Chain A
Amino acid sequence: MSDFEVLAQAVHKGDFATAVAETQKALDGGITIQDILDNGLIATMDEVGENFSKGTVFVPQMLRSAKTMQKCMELIQPFFKEAEVVSKGKVLIGTVKGDLHDIGKNLVAMMMEGAGFTMIDLGVDVSPDKFVQKIQEVEPDLVAMSALLSTTMPSMPLTVEAIQQAGVRDKVKIIIGGAPVTQKYADEIKADAYASDAGSAVSKAKELLGV
């Protein structure tokens, strides 16, 4: 494993220029893509997520780090195929039907991407049918649903039901979150997990998929 201290610091601070330069330096130095990704970028974003959950890092800092990582990813992504980089898993994410709020959902998607998952974002107001259709199309490992309103929360069990009826419930894990959502609610509607924030969404997703 290589020393990514400078890169890590740059990602923490949201210093685009240094982070990109360090990534390029690692590439030029023959360090493998997987090493840069796992031990440079993802490891740092994991720390950012943990600190966010602990309350020592705030949303703008998390955004800044994620954007920095994205810049570095642009450099290394072209080599993913030949380097046979493995994804942690495929995640389908969306805000449920009737709900147009996307801020929390976007934060979760961003942090999951930063953690090495492949994200497919369906946006907002996603109907149960749309979830099912996309599950059948892309065969994700995990389905993540968000709702900000107590009035749109009931779209979650409807979606779980639709997934069940389509016969693909055992092919995916389901994780839910959003301001009014609780662990109790997740249990009631038979979701596999609940996450209270973007940092814990990542750790719960890893637990669920065993990665």
Chain B
Amino acid sequence: MFIVGEKINASRKSIREAMERKDADFIIKVARDQHEAGADFIDVNAGTFVNQEAEMLCWLVETVQGALDVPLCLDSPNPVALAEAMKLHKGEPMINSISMETERLDALLPIVTSQSCRIIALCMARTAMPTTVEERVEVASDLISKLTDSGVPVEKIHVDPLIQPISVDTNMGLGALGAIRKIMSDFPGVNTICGLSNISFGLPERHLINRNFLALAMSYGLNGAIMDPNDNKLMSTIVTIDMLLGNDLFCEKYIEAYEQGILGKP
């Protein structure tokens, strides 16, 4: 599983405030906690700083990578901010995200292909959000062709099937799950990733829904999640499901997580 820690996002109040006062220690702690809990990438997002996004995103990159040896997930649709952040980034970043929305695609494609990186390809079409399995797979296919034609290896592409709330349409779960299965089987080597919280919008006890959806999505082939790695129940679910799906030789990671006291902890 590719685990992307989602917490350094300027839309969260504590993060925004830390960024405003350039509190490096606070940001580093949030990054370190996520990294130690098992995040493979740390997402950094400065989206709410409308006129200073590039500057703030660069500050996040320098701050986190100045203290920790961990790749980041550069989270912005802004070509200028991404280009500048990529230049500063050490190692191979993940880009969150590219989609088929024309303006965004045209502006981002030259940037994301200028150096080696992993790319989240969001199944957002030109004019609408896909809802069915077929619509999602069609957008995914377009995106994968665009990226591979531009020289991006398929193994570096992480397709986000676009999760929509089950509360407004009870077919949205199967729409996303079916798309994950089909994308993973139609494009060998490609990865899939998604955020977990959209699925549960509009319903109570959202953590319960998110966690169970993650388990189901993994069983349909999902191999990445943008999530809170400090949520022990979520991390326990990943370890358990990975083992049950045959991805944990001698159940080593499961037992290790048990010994670390992660399993069963709230």
Contact = CB atoms under 8 A, between A and B. Distances in A.
A103 B128 CA distance: 12
A75 interface: no
Contacts of A58: 167, 202-204
29 contacts: A55-B204, A58-B202, A58-B203, A58-B204, A59-B168, A59-B201, A60-B170, A60-B202, A63-B168, A100-B124, A100-B127, A100-B128, A100-B129, A101-B129, A103-B164, A103-B165, A103-B168, A106-B168, A149-B47, A150-B10, A150-B11, A150-B48, A151-B47, A151-B76, A151-B78, A153-B50, A154-B50, A180-B11, A180-B48
A63 B167 CA distance: 9
Interface string A184-200: 00000000000000000
A102 interface: yes
Contacts of B78: 151
| 3 closest Cβ pairs, A-B complex | A59-B202, A59-B167, A150-B47
B153 interface: no
B101 interface: yes
Interface of B: 10-11, 47-48, 50, 76-78, 101, 124, 127-129, 164-165, 167-168, 170, 201-204
Interface string A103-117: 100110000000000
A52 to B, nearest CB: 9
A198 to B, nearest CB: 10
Interface residues of A, number: 20
A22 interface: no
B239 to A, nearest CB: 31
Contact of B129 (A102, A149, A179): A102
Contacts of B129: 100-102
Contact of B77 (A100, A107, A151): A151
Contacts of A103: 164-165, 168, 201
Interface string A148-191: 01110110000000000000000000000001100000000000
Contact of A100 (B10, B76, B101, B202): B101
B116 to A, nearest CB: 26
A124 B126 CA distance: 12
Interface string A43-82: 0000000000001001110010000000000000000000
Contacts of A125: 127
B47 A124 contact: no
Nearest to B77: A151
